[in-house]
Structure 1
Amino acid sequence: MSLILSEVINHVGYITLNSEKTLNSLSLPMIQALKTVLDDWRSNEDIACVFLQGAGEKAFCAGGDIRKLHDAIIAQRTIDPTIVPDECFNFFCQEYQVDYAIHTYPKPLIVWGHGIVMGGGIGLLAGASHRIVTEKSKLAMPEITIGLYPDVGGTWFLNKMPSAYGLYLGLTGTRLDGADCMLLGMADYYIPSSAKDAIVDSLQKTSWKGDAHQIVDDILSHFNAAVNIPNSLAAAHLTFVKQFEQVSSIREFSAILHHAPPDDEWITNGIKGFESGSPSSAHIILRQLQLGRHLSLEEVFQSELNLSCQCCLHPDFVEGVRALLVDKDLAPKWKPATVPEITTPWIDSYFSPLWANDNHPLHHLGKNYMLWQK
């Protein structure tokens, strides 16, 4: 079975993530196949527009295949625990290059963000020129619950959200629906899932004479205009989220969170996500967003590759995946176990550079796109 399906109809290139049983989770072979198609179509004059979707109705993409990364880390630890496993390095390095390619793609790139969109799926959605959500879209960056952090450009798009929503979502893993995504700048169009066939039909019937980006915008805006977007729960909690705008420590964040109004399901779920997550991840996420406020897109992916590889060398990522997907006991044993046990040198170690600037694996981003294939 092909992990990526692709076809071209009337100058529209359709790409389907084809792993419905895994909710279209990204494996390294899938990332490589997606990379190849996007690169081929980038300069193909017959392609005016790209439409990226997931197989089935349940998910666009539920994230990365972290179970394989867990297995690679366990195997590497029996050999040399100070070395990042090749499979982990290749996965993150090539995933971020695909994300960057989408952010900088010269042609209209539509993402049909229907159903579950998590982790790596958000990485594919976030940089697209035309991002669609539906009434069934469910987005989240719950990496704190597996000892990781919001990567795939999270440093970039979380920092661009209004107020302190980016920090709050990163530290709690709170889920978003389509209305929330429109509020927070994670989507450009809210369109009923029932309109998909009509959108595809419109794309296939267009003449593609003129500005392709404007043509796509006109088509999607037509469908978007007919929709009454539901009320956003995130918007309803703006006053609450504003309290986190000046937070400079995890203890401050925790204190505000635990003084929240009782019996509020949206906030209660956020508390659960924060409390069950890795204490190390909490500190990493806060520093990630603080340090990343003024980074360029290229610098974001370069810094995230370093941080992700460091997570493979530290204990919590593999432990979080074990608890969620391997043993499924949902009882991770974090090291250190509590927020007060976290020290500054410990968090510093996560941000310690693995490469010098001139030999960083992603040093070429923004200079010569084609280098990323070599």
Structure 2
Amino acid sequence: MSTEMVIEHEPEIGFEVVNRVAIVTLNRPRALNALSHEMIGRLSQVFERCRTEDAVLAVVLRGAGEKAFCAGGDIRAIYESVRSDATRDKTWLQFFIDEYRLDYAIHNFEKPVVALMDGIAMGGGMGLAQGAALRIVTERTRMAMPETRIGMLPDVGATYFMGKMPLDLELYVGLTGAMLSGADAVACGLADICVPSPWLRDFVQRLETLHWDGREEAIDSLRRAFVPPANTEGHPQLEAHREQIRARFSAADGIESIVRSLQQDTPTEWSTATLAALTSNSPCMLEVTYHALLRGRQLALADCFRMELGIVYRAISEGDFLEGVRALIVDKDQRPRWEPVTLAEVHAERVQHFLASPWKGDMHPLEGLGAS
């Protein structure tokens, strides 16, 4: 079968079609392919083009360079946008609105999407990948949702897709920002297959040899290109701590009870690191994230995005986000001044305020999301 190739050159988004498969490349390797607002807009255009073109049967989403699929959104750019928003008209909010719409579109894309999460896959990168029909990781994958460290919550649909995990694992990963290996990601249900990283270097050549029987069989053909005949996924590192995670994070009694149980443990490397993460992250956003994750398990995807946007709005406009980014990313003094300082000072009314929508009725920016 002859192969047709069309190549376009974009500064931050690469696009080519190989044998009816669109290969979309996040092309900011020096920034670990972190998403700018311009990239989100371009990706939305590319996916819409792929949706409507009969010549495209599937989409492959990958990151440029050797280090990352996508390290998330460009947090520093958002930080600077918020700080320079002298008119207080919340222009920065459009970044999240557009990002969530893109992520939702990928979750509901009519054609198979393959996400190659080789290297770092965090935050906004997870938002792009978790809607894919085939989520591929490697032994080099380093996956996390570390938003509570900067005064945010795991967003980009995380309150939905993490809700497919067992509750203890969801709370552990979502609250601590724990780093997962490729094998861990498969074990947690955040990836479908773990393949050797070198296997992905030649995937374009394998795509060229595919014979398409029709759109319905496209995902089976793609598996032949991306899943090696003999594959060993490796041993999940989380298994060594699974009982401790289950014992500490299964009961839905709140963050303070989790922290107390860890403090009462005989110290181990795992319990010490877990306790350090929980006691250094934003107390307010830990509580908000805890309740948002529980609530998200009962919500449809579109409703999760709407809930997350409201929480992000409050976290940035009146919460700990600016201080978290200052301390961890801008000044890097690692000394965030959270408000309030301790979990005991986080009042239930404050948590419910973050969980309540800032918009009345049909004024929500994502009101139409999911409408037929």
TM range (shorter): over 0.9
Give, in whole Å, the separation in 2 of the partners of 1:163 and 1:233: 18
Aligned with residue 18 of structure 1, among 3, 8, 27: 27
Q: Distance in 2 between matches of 1:79 and 1:71?
A: 14
Q: Which residue of 1 aligns with 2:126?
A: 122
Letter in 2 for 1:250: I
Tell me if 1:7 matches 2:48: no
For 1:259 and 1:43, how far apart are their aligned partners in 2? 58
Instruction: For residues 303-359 of structure 1, give each alpha carbon's deviation from its aligned partner in whole angstroms, at most 9, with x where no partner exists.
Output: 111111111112310100011121111111001111111111211221232223423
Of residues 232-241 and 354-363 in structure 1, the stretch that sits farther from structure 2 once superposed is: 354-363
AA aligned to 1:216 is: L
Name the residue aligned to 1:248. Answer: 253
2:262 equivalent among 257, 264, 272: 257
**Does residue 216 of the first structure (1) align with residue 222 of the second (2)?**
yes
Matches within 5 A, 1:274-313: 274-313=278-317
Is the 1:280–1:336 Cα contact (8 Å) retained in structure 2? Answer: yes
Give, as a single letter, the amino acid of the residue that structure 2 aligns with 1:258. Answer: Q
Which residue identity lines up with residue 261 of structure 2 in the other structure?
Answer: I
Asked if 1:273 corresponds to 2:282, the answer is no
Residue matched to 1:344? 348
Which position in structure 2 is the counterpart of 1:372?
none
Q: Does 1:181 align with 2:185?
A: yes
**Contact 1:12–1:204 (CA<8 Å) still a contact in 2?**
no
Say whether the 8 Å CA contact 1:23–1:58 is kept in structure 2: yes
**Mean alpha-carbon deviation: is it higher for 329-338 or for 225-234?**
225-234
Q: Secondary structure at the match of 1:131?
A: strand
Relative distance call for 1:4 and 1:362 in structure 2 (3 A) is same
Is 1:207 the equivalent of 2:211?
Answer: yes
Query: Which amino acid in 2 is paired with 1:60?
Result: F
Write the deviation string for residues 284-318 of structure 1: whole angstroms up to 9, x where unpaired: 11110121111001111111111111111123101
Q: SS of the counterpart of 1:333?
A: coil
CA contact under 8 A between 1:134 and 1:192: conserved in structure 2?
A: yes
| Contact kept in structure 2, 1:61 and 1:118, CA below 8 Å | yes
How many residue pairs match? The answer is: 360
Q: 2:234 aligns with which of 212, 230, 233?
A: 230
Contact kept? 2:145, 2:177, Cα under 8 Å: yes
In structure 2, the partner of 1:95 is 99
Cα offset for 1:166? 0.5
Deviation at 1:34, TM superposition (A): 0.6
Q: Could you tell me how far 1:140 is from its partner in structure 2?
A: 0.7
Inter-partner Cα distance in structure 2 for 1:261 and 1:187: 33
Task: Confirm or deny that 1:331 pairs with 2:340.
Answer: no
> How far is 1:163 from its partner?
4.2
In structure 2, which of residues 347, 363, 368 is the aligned counterpart of residue 364 of structure 1?
A: 368
What amino acid sits opposite 1:350 in the alignment? F
Specify the alignment match of 2:67 in structure 1. 58
Which one of the candidate residues 43, 50, 55 is aligned to 1:34?
A: 43
Unmatched runs of 5 consecutive residues or more in structure 1? 369-374
Instruction: Report if the CA contact (8 A) 2:26-2:63 is conserved.
Output: yes
TM-score by length of structure 2 reads: 0.93
Aligned to 2:144: 140
User: What is the CA distance between 1:141 and its match in structure 2?
Assistant: 0.8
Q: Quick check: 1:13–1:50 contact (8 Å CA) kept in 2? A: yes
Counterpart code for 1:172: T
Helix, strand or coil: the match of 1:337?
coil
1:256, 1:11 → 2: CA distance?
Answer: 54
The residue that corresponds to 1:371 in the other structure is none
Give the letter aligned to residue 62 of structure 2. Q
Question: Deviation of residue 215 (structure 1)?
Answer: 1.6
Whole-Å separation in 1 of the counterparts to 2:264 and 2:59: 46
Deviation of residue 72 (structure 1)? 2.0
Matched residue SS, 1:112:
strand
Partner deviation per Cα, 1:126-178 (whole Å, 9 max, x = no partner): 11111110110000111111000100111012211124100011111110000
Whether the 8 Å contact between 1:149 and 1:281 is mirrored in structure 2 is yes
User: How many angstroms apart in 2 are the aligned matches of 1:167 and 1:33?
Assistant: 33
Identity fraction in percent? 38
Maintained 8 Å contact 1:164/1:242? yes
Q: Distance in 2 between matches of 1:300 and 1:258?
A: 32
Mapped partners of 2:131, 2:38: distance in 1: 21
Aligned partner of residue 163 in structure 2, secondary structure = coil
CA contact (8 A) 1:12 1:51 kept: yes
The worse-fitting range, judged by mean Cα deviation, of 204-213 and 109-118 is 204-213
Separation of aligned partners in 2, 1:260 and 1:5: 50
**Distance of aligned partners of 1:108 and 1:261 in 2 relative to their CA distance in 1, 3 Å threshold:** farther
Moved over 4 A (4+): none
Partner SS state of residue 348, structure 1:
helix
- Secondary structure of the residue aligned to 1:329 is coil
